[in-house]
Chains A and B, each alone.
Chain A
Amino acid sequence: MTSVQPDLLKGLSEEETARFLALGVPTSLASRQTLFRLGTEADKAYLVMRGRIALTLPIQIRGGEEEVLVEEKLPGETVGWSGLVPPHRFTLNATAAISSELLSFSRASVLDHFAAHPAVGHTVTRNLAAVIGHRLQVFQTMWLREMQRVVEHRYS
């Protein structure tokens, strides 16, 4: 199990953290085993407890489709937040880079818990927004850097 405070649970008390983690269902993945696939319905979010989860996107190379690593999630980090955010479809492929353990949280159990403990819901939702916002900012910056190079290449 991870010894670091999960990114989704920052700001919760020990008791609140323990109660929330108790909602999770332990899930083990062998190396290279798929957690979820792009485009499929997302009804769970995951916390990485041990191991490493690779997030990949398909890319066409010489007529064939290959998976390109875009991000790796380590213990304490959240994977599959699409399970909590509409339209509830995964937008990446997730695979265990090595043998890994996660806690899976069904959307229904999380929302019920938030309804019963609004303060916890507020804190977790803020943490979730930070995770999503960081992803957005990183990819926005990467996109802008790439656009700058396209402009330099085509119009310089």
Chain B
Amino acid sequence: MVMFATILIMSLLAVAVCAAAFGAATRGEAQPEAQPERRLVLEPPRFFASPAAKPAEAPGVPVEMLLSQIERHVRLEQAAAEAYLDLPTRDSLHSRTESPFLN
């Protein structure tokens, strides 16, 4: 009877130790899954681009001057495209112009 009680107690102890070890192991695995949620909460909301990536504006430039710069850019780009079509090469395809938007 004593022997039976000893085996029973030892078995219960073994089950308890295994359960504790399993619990610790599964807690360790669950931690990485919880991390992204915490990061989402902590970071500020971002949509298509961060505010820092927004191009700098030049509010002081009059619309007429901006239009003139755009037209100059279009003329130069068109001339560059025509030059490429006259003699197509990889270099002439991406040649630089004096456009105010590129310098």
Residues of A within 8 A of B (CB): 59, 61-62, 64, 66, 68-71, 134, 137-139, 141-142, 144-146, 148-149
Contact of A137 among B77, B85, B102 (CB under 8 A): B85
**Of B63, B75, B85, the contact of A141 (CB 8 Å cutoff):** B85
Among A66, A134, A145, A149, the most chain B Cβ lie within 10 Å of the Cβ of A145
What secondary structure prevails in chain A residues at the interface with B? Answer: helix
Interface string of B69-88 (1 = CB under 8 A from A): 01100110110111011000
Take A62-B63, A148-B94, A149-B102 as given contacts and tell me if A141 and B84 are in contact as well, using a CB distance cutoff of 8 Å.
yes
Q: At the interface, is chain B mostly helix, strand, loop or mixed?
A: helix
CA distance A146 to B81 in the complex (A): 11
Question: Is B63's CB under 8 angstroms from A142's CB?
Answer: no
Contact, CB under 8 Å: B63 / A138: no
Partner of A138, one of B66, B78, B94, B102: B78
Question: Cβ of A142 and Cβ of B70 under 8 Å apart?
Answer: no
Name the residue on B nearest A154 (C-beta): B53
User: Considering the chains assembled together, what is the distance between the CA atoms of A137 and B93 in angstroms?
Assistant: 12
